[in-house]
Amino acid sequence: MSNLRLAIAAIATALLSLAGTCNHAPTQPRILSPEANQLLRSVDRFQVEVEASGEYFDIGSLLVELNGKPLEITPGNTVHFAKLQKGEVLQEWNQLVVSAVRLADQERGESIRTFSWKEKPLPSSFQSDFVTRPPDVVSAEIEVLDTKIKRQNALLRVRFGQNMDIPEKIPFRVDQDNFIEFEDSGQGDDREKGDGLYTARIDFDYNNYFSRKYREIVGGFDQEEEIESISFSGRELIGVKAVDIPSALRDLVSPSIISLVPMAASTPVVDSERALMIRDLSVVADPLRTFDPCDTDGDGLNGDPNGAWSFKTLMTGMANTAATGVSVEAFTMGWLKGWATNFDVLNDGSPSGDWIINGDVVPNREVGLFNQIISLWPLDAAGNLDLDQAPFRLLSIVNRVDLRDAVGYGSSPASAGELRFVFGLLDMNVCQPARMTAIFEYAVTANSCSDVLAHAQSWEDLDLANAPFPATPAYLVDLQNITDPVTSPGVVPSRPNGSSIGQVRTSEVVMGTPWEMREFTLQPIPGGFPGQHELRMETTKQTPDIDYTLDPAMQLSLTNYINVNSPDICNGTHVVPDTWLGAPFLSGRSDFFPGTHFFSPGITPSVGVPCTPDDLRFNFSSNTCSGCHGADTIDPAVDSPFYHVHPDTPPGIPVELSRFLTGTGASPIPDPSPIGGVPRDFADLDRRAVDMQNLLALGCSTVTVSSAAMSVSVH
């Protein structure tokens, strides 16, 4: 242990030397901006900031020269400003010289700084298709060139896959004035033209990376805990090992290459209960922000139906009556009619009253809908559903920043991931939890990589800046400050009803059998006015009709799809199409029964694809709703069926989670298929934790190589 403490002491000393601890009287003015080696993109907003106190300098002698020409100075208290004269321009390479006479010795102290300037990339050069489906990344790494500055101090090298047509130069927007430019041109920092290895000079904040990784490495040391790092392939946990702290710290002090793909193993330090999947009763049963007509937690309070996180409030935001003219009561009933009979053959109905979604017959469940929900839902004075008595309680608030788009490659707004609210149905006959969840899945709008980082930072701050549970008033306010800008009415005017809702997904067995998931998106109301949308059934993304695995006559089509798309399925980047071989493919709902998974005989990877048939089957099946909530991630011999968040958790305790989320431990999930593949381990909350940690430690470089597997994932 003594050697370990010595290593930690040494690294702490190194960190202090990097930060600098001297507090002597300054001998020259300090240039605050632009930063050393900074690449500027805007002339209009160019401004020099200089720190020079009248305690040490003759402010009247302050001189700011850019490329040998003096700039006009606007004096301040201790910080002074200078800018270009009208009509002046920046050069590709610029030298800034700032000087002032010291009061101590009447000598002129001088600071020199160099920086560069380039025009912004043309809008036509961006690759908008890459935002929601970025190209595959075979490998990616950061080469740190200088740890003492953070502007243009590192090289990002990426080898993209061959699934897309990629131009020689690719711009990426960090924020309004900062851009990364990948090149395979053989010029500048790029080594060889056309070799498929793209290079970009980037800003890398090494001190931020250092401090965050230091925290990961020694996070549990004071508690005498063994520190473990974990690694993932897609969503599968593939490695857990004890951290050699002295070795890890030595590598951190003198980095050269930091691997992004594959990502190095990391230690989860984000508290998933406070920043990823919040289910503590002090939050999800907060009487000021949530509502539960049955007081399921037993605290004697039902809460406020108009609270920020109540079922009524979120439905009200989606309906956006002020803009659409559709009442929240009518909007909610429109959603519930997704289980009723539908004889309108022009709008997803059929002569039998069942729904037809992408050619898939989705049986109506009108009897169950009436018996289990409608007949038990209190009515208001006008005879409408009383949203003040909605039979749904909040189970969890979920941060899915891991589902972010590759924001910056093209058009905006895009997504910084999802914000989810998981509700559980209440059986109003007995006022007890029932077996149904409704998950409201909102897209978090982001215009740039900086927006993504700011969103992730707000969740980390929520964890680190607040006291442990039970939630304090400050924690609840901070959390609401994250959720309100996403859920409020009209927050995204360009989207249907002005709502940021992406989809609402349900999982239930109370209205009929088999156990079933349905997906709803905002779609125009049949016969409604322009701009009026309701939650209508949609295909269940990434999930073919289960008959493609149950019916031997249809299995050949599934085998064909998997084999043809084996490179993307191996990488986890495939997107299941609506149709395949001229027939409907995506399902209108996902059914569940013991052992549910996708399999077809004859699965064979294409030449050069580094996956076994077992890997291909698993990668395909586990990314469907049926597989992810079925036997690919839930062991029917051990686990409760079909739920990752259990709505029928006994009253008075936080909602129970599946082992897929919390960790499979010593009991991995066996392969359910005839292939007889290897068992698989999961710990998805840990995966999400290290993903967010790496995002905040490595910054925009992680967004440029954003995993397409996460971008297309729906789970």
pLDDT of 463-481, one tens digit each?
999 999 999 999 999 999 9
Answer yes or no: do 549 and 636 share one domain.
yes
Of 117, 135, 152, at which residue does a domain stop?
117
Answer yes or no: do 529 and 557 share one domain.
no
How far is Cα 639 from Cα 188, in angstroms, rounded to an integer? 56
CA distance to 41, 95, 119, 239, 311, per residue, from 92 (Å)? 10, 10, 9, 47, 55
Whether 196 is covered by a domain: the verdict is: no
Of 480, 509, 541, at which residue does a domain stop?
541
Q: Which pLDDT belongs to residue 135?
A: 85
Whether 209 is covered by a domain: the verdict is: no
Whether 379 is covered by a domain: the verdict is: yes
Query: What is the per-residue burial (b if ≥16 Cβ within 10 Å, else e) of 230-255?
Result: bbbebbbbeeeeebebbebbeebbeb
| pTM: predicted TM-score of the whole model, two decimal places | 0.94
Answer yes or no: do 111 and 56 share one domain.
yes
Q: Which pLDDT belongs to residue 708?
A: 47
Q: Which pLDDT belongs to residue 2?
A: 54
Q: What pLDDT band is residue 15 in, cutting at 50, 70 and 90?
A: low
Answer yes or no: do 529 and 597 share one domain.
no
Answer yes or no: do 548 and 665 share one domain.
yes
3-state class (DSSP) for residue 482:
helix
| CATH (domain of 113) | 2.60.40.1220
Answer yes or no: do 285 and 299 share one domain.
yes
Q: What pLDDT band is residue 246 in, cutting at 50, 70 and 90?
A: confident
Whether 90 is covered by a domain: the verdict is: yes
| Candidate from 2-16, 239-253, 282-296, 359-373 with smallest mean pLDDT | 2-16
Query: What is the per-residue burial (b if ≥16 Cβ within 10 Å, else e) of 466-480?
Result: beebebeeebbebbb
Average pLDDT value for residue range 644-658: 95
* Residues contacting residue 292 through CB under 8 Å, at least 6 positions apart: 285, 302, 303, 393, 394, 426
* Residues contacting residue 684 through CB under 8 Å, at least 6 positions apart: 235, 660, 661
How far is Cα 675 from Cα 661, in angstroms, rounded to an integer? 25
How far is Cα 418 from Cα 410, in angstroms, rounded to an integer? 19
pLDDT of 250 higher than 90: no
Higher pLDDT, 706 or 86: 86
| Candidate from 344-348, 405-409, 690-694 with smallest mean pLDDT | 405-409
Contact 585, 577 (CB under 8 A): yes
Of 92, 117, 142, at which residue does a domain stop?
117
**Which domain range does residue 672 map to?**
543-690
Answer yes or no: do 520 and 372 share one domain.
yes
Q: What is the DSSP letter of 627?
A: H
Whether 8 is covered by a domain: the verdict is: no
Q: How far apart are the first and last CA of the chain?
A: 43
Q: What pLDDT band is residue 220 in, cutting at 50, 70 and 90?
A: low
Q: Transcribe 425-446 into DSSP letters.
A: EEETTTTEEEEEEEEEEEEEEE
How far is Cα 587 from Cα 568, in angstroms, rounded to an integer? 20
Average pLDDT value for residue range 164-168: 87
Q: What pLDDT band is residue 42 in, cutting at 50, 70 and 90?
A: confident
Average pLDDT value for residue range 234-238: 93
How high is the mean pLDDT of the chain? 93
The pLDDT > 70 percentage for the chain reads 94
Q: What pLDDT band is residue 3 in, cutting at 50, 70 and 90?
A: low
| pLDDT tens column, 523-551 | 999 999 999 999 999 999 999 999 999 99
pLDDT of 164 higher than 80: no
Helices 449-464 and 684-698: crossing angle, nearest 10°?
120
CA angle 277, 281, 284 (to 5 degrees): 60
pLDDT of 118 higher than 90: yes
| pLDDT tens column, 178-197 | 999 999 999 999 999 999 99
Answer yes or no: do 588 and 684 share one domain.
yes
| pLDDT tens column, 513-523 | 999 999 999 99
Whether 378 is covered by a domain: the verdict is: yes
Whether 558 is covered by a domain: the verdict is: yes
Answer yes or no: do 487 and 474 share one domain.
yes
| pLDDT tens column, 284-343 | 999 999 999 999 999 999 999 999 999 999 999 999 999 999 999 999 999 999 999 999
Q: Which of 373, 447, 435 is nearest to 410 (CA)?
A: 447
Q: What pLDDT band is residue 711 in, cutting at 50, 70 and 90?
A: very low
Answer yes or no: do 503 and 467 share one domain.
yes
Q: Which of left, alpha, beta for 20 (phi over 0: left; psi -120 to 50: alpha)?
A: left
| pLDDT tens column, 573-586 | 899 999 999 999 99
| pLDDT tens column, 377-407 | 999 999 999 999 999 999 999 999 999 999 9
Q: Which pLDDT belongs to residue 132?
A: 85
Q: Which of 494, 499, 502, 414 is nearest to 455 (CA)?
A: 414
Answer yes or no: do 510 and 607 share one domain.
no
Q: What pLDDT band is residue 422 in, cutting at 50, 70 and 90?
A: very high
Please report where in the chains the tokens 């009723």 appear, as a residue: 340
Chain centre to alpha carbon of residue 627 = 22
Whether 289 is covered by a domain: the verdict is: yes
Q: Which of 17, 373, 484 is nearest to 207 (CA)?
A: 17
Q: Which pLDDT belongs to residue 177?
A: 86
Answer yes or no: do 513 and 582 share one domain.
no
Q: Which pLDDT belongs to residue 62?
A: 97
Average pLDDT value for residue range 67-75: 95
pLDDT of 512 higher than 90: yes
Give me 591's structure tokens: 């059914």
Number of domains in the chain: 3
